[in-house]
Copies of this chain bind each other. A is one copy, B any other.
Amino acid sequence: MPKAPRPAIRRPVTITDIARACGVSKSTVSLVLQGSPRIRPQTQQRVRQAAAALGYVYNRRAAALRAGASNAVGVLINDLLNPFFMELLVGIEQRLVAAGYVTIMAHTAERLDLQEQLLATMREHGVAGLILSPALATGRALIARVKGWGIPTVIVTRSVPGGHTDFVGADNPAGTRAATAHLLALGHRRIAFVGGHADAIVHKQRKAGYALALREAGVRPARALVVECQPTRAGGQDAVGRLLALQPQPTAAVCYNDIVALGLMAGAAQHGMTIGRDLSVIGFDGIADAAQAYPPLATMDINPRQQGERAATVLLERLQHAGAPTVVALTRPRLLVRPSIGPGPAAHAATTAALRRRRRGAA
């Protein structure tokens, strides 16, 4: 049986084809496709039917070129392999899709040169806006340059001092302050701070909150108790050795983030320690893995996914109102108490004393 003849090269169907098929003008077709109420319902229906029948595909590139408006948003992430950023990205993407946008995603892997190149590419692609989780050591100069491009930009996670841009992040000092205060209330006194690059702003902020809480409790922050490491599980695991070498050993650790805390827990377990008893560990971020660890990891939850959604929302609003005042949205960390933390030595003493008093009273 002979096959139906097919055109050798498939020329894509355009609005011109639809116009011809319906006996209307291109303008009319375009207006129908845009859902303009100016076109008579009857005509609308005819156009839609023809479009469907011809297998028409709207060409956004052409529309964007002509209208000067894009519906692509560039999203640059500095460390996708950290679940925090993954959850953040999921939140961003979901919100953007819901608003009819598309996500051009790129991973900078903390490399400034790559970040620079990727930003330039995004610009050439004419993205409507940018969501940038800056690579380490990103300076205000870069942010100023991007702003100069006239592309609305929301910075996430790491603020850039002097950036003067919409920012979505967390109140880091408040978070570690609350975490540390909680451990102090549990009776811990030798509390370590573990993880992160000393030059990273988030590290500075989180360390500052930790130190503040100690001072507020009249505990002198000891230099030796601050242990730097890569902000990864491997980093946390490596830090255990240095932590255990301290004399006297810390009884609790406030971690830079959840993955460092999870690595620390694994490393401590390897050394035969029981987390929550021999060492209390608290993380920061509230990634999903924290709840599923053994023991479940206490953390300062900043809801990464919701932050992603918020970042996208702020950008979408900025796309509507270019002139609106700069937004700085800081999530207030929420303490999630889980079994990775337990009472400290001072609490043991206090509990013992209380028990003694109670017994005496009963006697």
Contact = CB atoms under 8 A, between A and B. Distances in A.
Secondary structure at the A interface, as helix, strand, loop or mixed, is helix
Contact of A80 (B86, B266, B269, B289): B86
B292 A72 contact: no
Contacts of A295: 270
A146 interface: no
A61 interface: yes
Contacts of A289: 233, 289
A27 interface: no
A202 B290 CA distance: 27
Interface in A57-81: 57-62, 64-65, 70, 72, 80-81
Nearest to A235: B292
A273 B114 CA distance: 46
A234 interface: yes
Nearest to A149: B57
A59 B292 contact: no
B93 A89 contact: no
A60 to B, nearest CB: 5
The residue among A10, A83, A292 with the most chain B CB atoms within 10 A of its own CB is A292
A83 to B, nearest CB: 7
A72 B74 CA distance: 12
Given A72-B125, A104-B105, A265-B294, 7 more contacts: A57-B124, A59-B124, A102-B121, A103-B105, A103-B106, A233-B289, A270-B294
